[in-house]
Structure 1
């Protein structure tokens, strides 16, 4: 397994899609802090700092890292078969399970590094904006990164299923992008409309009822989208109290949000294990010619 890990980790760091996606992400991500600084925006409290950091990572960063994770997985196996390198690897004293286990571990580390890079840039940007740096910011950042990594591992595993199903790596990339933009972006918009139709469209629109209904629908109908489950969990990190015109936001922390949403955390973990099991099973039984 360690041989496969070292080989795949070095190869992954040299792939163009990794650096192109990270480069585009940073080109869009970093200027945001400059714009805020130029506009005189300052982050004065830990609550604001954490909310800003999570929003930026889960928004722009999460979007690009999600694409990266899915594309990495979608070409993990079929590209090796096309190039003939998989047959060479299998000729060495390594089992199929050890090979795919090492490859998957390497891809997990690469995705984790991308998440850490995004978080580091975010923390430096917050420090530049004058945000207070303390233990709560670090703790909640680590907890959130753990959730995000679990979501990205799920997408890598989903990519592996595509890679062991679609023989052509170019076709697999197309399938992965179609899945991402239709299933992961279009369907959530439809579900959001369903929640709005049930609560906001009519004679008596109810914002609180909409928020509760949308959260219910996200868990019920979008369980297969890991980033959506993170949105549900993180939404409970803040509690809004008061009435219109006098709303107060109380930050309660990522740890508490995780404890209050065991179903969504369970969905994240459970579906990741299911995808991994299917991907490994298909690889162990597939024809590698």
Structure 2
């Protein structure tokens, strides 16, 4: 397994798609701190700092790293079959399970590095803006990265399933991009419209009911979108009480949000295990010729 991990880790770090996606992400990510600095908007509390970090990492960073995770998985197996390197690897004293296990761990480590890079840039940007640093910021950053890593593992596993079904790596890339477009953009928009139609597109819009209906519909109809499940979880990091005229905002943190949304966390874990089992089963049974 270590041999497969070492080989795949080196190859993954040399792939153009890794550095292109990270480069584009940083080009869009870093200027946001500059514009916020230029606008004169300060960050006075740790809670505000965490909110900004959540928005950046879970929003922009999560989207681009999700693309990276799915594309890496979608070409993990079929590209090796096309190049003939998989048969060479299987001629060595290594089992199929050890090979795919090492490859999968390598991809997970690469995605984790991308997440940590995004987080470090985010924290550095917050420090540059003068935001107070504290244990709450560190704790919530770690918890958020843990959730995102679980989501990315799910997408890598989904990519592996694609890679073991679609023989052509170029076709698999196209399939992965279509899935990203439909699953991450079209379906969430449809579900949001459904929630809005049932609550606020009327003569008496109810924004509180819309938020609850949106969470319900996202959990029910978008259970296969890991980043959406994270959105549902982190949306409860801030608790609003009181009336409209005098709202009281209480920051409960990512830990409190996770405890309140154990169903969504269970969906993340459960579907990740299902995808992993299917991917490994497909590889162990597939014809490598």
* TM above 0.5: yes
What is the rounded CA distance, in whole Å, between the counterparts of 2:127 and 2:201 in structure 1? 42
Shift of 1:243: 2.3
CA RMSD of aligned residues (A): 0.7
3-state SS, counterpart of residue 241 of structure 1: strand
Tell me whether 1:199 sits opposite 2:194 in the alignment: no
What is the rounded CA distance, in whole Å, between the counterparts of 1:246 and 1:66 in structure 2? 39
3-state SS, counterpart of residue 224 of structure 1: coil
Shift of 1:245: 3.5
Shift of 1:39: 1.1
Q: In the alignment, what sits opposite 1:45? A: 45
Q: In the alignment, what sits opposite 1:187? A: 187
What is the rounded CA distance, in whole Å, between the counterparts of 1:148 and 1:217 in structure 2? 21
Q: In the alignment, what sits opposite 2:108? A: 108
Q: Per-residue displacement from partner, 1:209-245 (whole Å, max 9, x unpaired)?
A: 1100010000000000000000000011101123223
Residues 245-254 or 38-47, more deviating: 245-254
Unaligned segments of structure 2, at least 5 residues: none
What is the rounded CA distance, in whole Å, between the counterparts of 1:37 and 1:184 in structure 2? 31
Tell me whether 1:243 sits opposite 2:238 in the alignment: no
3-state SS, counterpart of residue 180 of structure 1: helix
What is the rounded CA distance, in whole Å, between the counterparts of 1:63 and 1:207 in structure 2? 26
Tell me whether 1:15 sits opposite 2:15 in the alignment: yes
Shift of 1:38: 1.1
Q: Which runs of structure 2 are paired with 1:217-236 in the superposition (5 Å)?
A: 217-236=217-236
What is the rounded CA distance, in whole Å, between the counterparts of 1:202 and 1:33 in structure 2? 38
Deviation >2 Å, runs of 4+? 242-248
Q: In the alignment, what sits opposite 2:161? A: 161
How many matched pairs? Answer: 289
3-state SS, counterpart of residue 44 of structure 1: coil
What is the rounded CA distance, in whole Å, between the counterparts of 1:251 and 1:119 in structure 2? 20
3-state SS, counterpart of residue 223 of structure 2: coil
Q: Which runs of structure 2 are paired with 1:72-111 in the superposition (5 Å)?
A: 72-111=72-111
Residues 68-77 or 244-253, more deviating: 244-253
Shift of 1:252: 0.4
3-state SS, counterpart of residue 139 of structure 2: helix
What is the rounded CA distance, in whole Å, between the counterparts of 2:235 and 2:244 in structure 1? 19
Tell me whether 1:29 sits opposite 2:29 in the alignment: yes
What is the rounded CA distance, in whole Å, between the counterparts of 1:174 and 1:154 in structure 2? 19
Q: In the alignment, what sits opposite 1:263? A: 263
What is the rounded CA distance, in whole Å, between the counterparts of 1:178 and 1:57 in structure 2? 23
Shift of 1:141: 0.4
Shift of 1:148: 0.4
What is the rounded CA distance, in whole Å, between the counterparts of 2:49 and 2:247 in structure 1? 19
Shift of 1:247: 2.4
TM-score, normalised with respect to structure 1: 0.99
3-state SS, counterpart of residue 269 of structure 2: helix
What is the rounded CA distance, in whole Å, between the counterparts of 1:15 and 1:249 in structure 2? 45
TM-score, normalised with respect to structure 2: 0.99
What is the rounded CA distance, in whole Å, between the counterparts of 2:63 and 2:146 in structure 1? 16
Q: In the alignment, what sits opposite 1:55? A: 55
